[in-house]
Structure 1
Amino acid sequence: MKENLLLKKILLKIFNRISADNNYLKIESIHFKNNYLRIEGNENSLQCEKQSFLRNSHVYIKGMENRISIDIETEVYGNNMQVLFVNGSNNQILIGKNCVIRDTTFFINGNNNVICLENNVSVYGAEFHIEQDNNCLNIKKGTTFHGRNGYPVHIALDEGSSITINEDCMFSNGIQIRSTDSHSIIDSTGKRINYAEDITIGEHCWIGLGCIILKGTTIAPHTVVAAGSICTTEYHKGNCIIAGNPAKVVKENIDWDRKYL
């Protein structure tokens, strides 16, 4: 048993560049290769469960009590540019079972933030970006993202906001989802008027090519958002198509399927 543990540590050092003194590594997978790993601070943790894959990625954690967890049978592959970056304290990146992650950036700069991908999530070419404190991105099971050819799905949170994407949603490429404007807009008295607001996307929604979903948006379940639409408000009626700038309901009593029927 001790020989197996020693061999595992040697292989980790051979196939990866690791600097993680005073922190916790739990690498149960033998498919942890060609990564650059640097952990600074105390009581941070990286956990890769059995039958998970982490390859060709840069992992950087700095601060206190941060956690990255990759569950069983999940594949996280980069092209030596994929980054999992955490700077701050008490942040979490949680990737569930049977997920596939390709060429995707996880970025957290702040404290008490969470990025959670539930089971069976598929992500190709996305950017998950969090600034400041107390933000939460929750992507529920069976949801898929298909960024490609320099047109990623970009999701940004700031100022203690949340973005919730419910089960079995489908995202095309070149999409922006932002709970914040990232800069201040002020009125004539100097008062700021554009604080961050939460975003919720209901289950089984299809978000088309090049859509923009802005702060304060709610999209009801079983909605199709047409390509190039800009969503800025609450859409409470489900089973419909919304389109335009600003987006509005253009067709009702519909549903959609990933397959040609």
Structure 2
Amino acid sequence: MKNKILKKILFKIIKLCPFNSVRLFIYRNFFKYTIGTNVFIGKSILNSKKVTIGNNVVIKNNCIITAGNVTIGNNTSIHSGNVIMGKASFSIGNNSRIINDHFIDVWNSVEIGNNTWLAGKASQLWTHGSIYTKTGKKDLSIKIGDNIYMASNCSIAPGVTIESLNLIGLGSVVTQSISSSKNIIAGNPAKIIKENIDWRENW
């Protein structure tokens, strides 16, 4: 939508309106977002070039999502107070969760897989450091695989990839990519502290 004044008015309605059906109508018909069935969007701002939302998705109140392109898979929830900001793409797969008050920087792209949790609160994912990396001259995208559990207050450095089926412990600072699965990862800087552990069965 190019009309800035109309956009401001619509966002004010979205923030004040108590009816999910009205918010969905605005996002579908004025912003032309693709939104599936049985979707709830709370009093949250989605201001992106292209948004594709699957079925049975929940986005709770007080979220700000302003990435370039946004894709949210089926049965995924984004809880209250999350900020996802930048000019690149953000995607999250099916059956995933982002709990409360996390910050995701999307100056480079961020991809989160299926069945993955950003649990607790106050984790930060960063895709740029200096002005040089913020201009897009260096790709520092983050990729978080399937079946990841990330506990509260973790920090993920620019350019990190985390392979599927890992647990990231409370307060971890992940500065290097993790290329293997079935690990417990913790510390500052984070490292593998236990191997061959399927956190879904043993934690």
Return the TM-score normalized by structure 1.
Answer: 0.63
Return the TM-score normalized by structure 2.
Answer: 0.79
TM-superposed CA distance for 1:195, in Å, is: 3.7
What's the secondary structure of 1:234's corresponding residue?
coil
Percent of aligned positions that are identical: 22
Which is strand-richer, 1 or 2?
Answer: 1
Map of 1:33 onto structure 2: 22
TM-superposed CA distance for 1:216, in Å, is: 1.1
**Structure-2 change in CA distance of 1:179 and 1:67 (3 Å):** farther
Q: Is the 8 A contact 2:78 2:98 kept in 1?
A: yes
AA matched with 1:119: N
AA matched with 1:215: P
TM-superposed CA distance for 1:199, in Å, is: 1.0
1:73 to 38, 63, 82: 38
1:222 to 161, 165, 169: 165
What's the secondary structure of 1:235's corresponding residue?
coil
Map of 2:174 onto structure 1: 231
**Structure-2 change in CA distance of 1:155 and 1:257 (3 Å):** same
Unaligned runs of 5+ in 1: 1-16, 20-29, 38-45, 49-60, 187-191
AA matched with 1:47: R
Map of 2:146 onto structure 1: 203
AA matched with 1:114: N
Map of 1:47 onto structure 2: 28
Q: Is the 8 A contact 2:23 2:41 kept in 1?
A: no
What's the secondary structure of 1:145's corresponding residue?
strand
1:85 to 31, 44, 47: 47
Unaligned runs of 5+ in 2: 1-8, 12-18
What's the secondary structure of 1:33's corresponding residue?
helix
AA matched with 1:179: T
Name the CA distance, whole Å, in 2 between partners of 1:253 and 1:18.
Answer: 50
Q: Is the 8 A contact 2:20 2:40 kept in 1?
A: no
TM-superposed CA distance for 1:139, in Å, is: 0.4
What's the secondary structure of 1:47's corresponding residue?
helix
**Higher relative contact order, structure no. (Cα contacts within 8 Å, ≥ 6 residues apart):** 2
Name the CA distance, whole Å, in 1 between partners of 2:188 and 2:151.
Answer: 14
Name the CA distance, whole Å, in 2 between partners of 1:256 and 1:75.
Answer: 30
**What are the Cα deviations for residues 198-257 of structure 1, in whole angstroms up to 9, with x where unaligned?**
111111000011000111111111100011111121111110011111110000111123
1:154 aligns with 2:103: yes
Map of 1:42 onto structure 2: none
Map of 1:114 onto structure 2: 69
Name the CA distance, whole Å, in 1 between partners of 2:191 and 2:39.
Answer: 38
Name the CA distance, whole Å, in 1 between partners of 2:23 and 2:34.
Answer: 18
AA matched with 1:249: I
Name the CA distance, whole Å, in 2 between partners of 1:83 and 1:139.
Answer: 17
What's the secondary structure of 2:128's corresponding residue?
coil
Map of 1:144 onto structure 2: 97
**Structure-2 change in CA distance of 1:227 and 1:31 (3 Å):** closer
Q: Larger Cα Rg: Structure 1 or Structure 2?
A: 1
TM-superposed CA distance for 1:185, in Å, is: 6.7
Map of 2:16 onto structure 1: none
Map of 1:9 onto structure 2: none
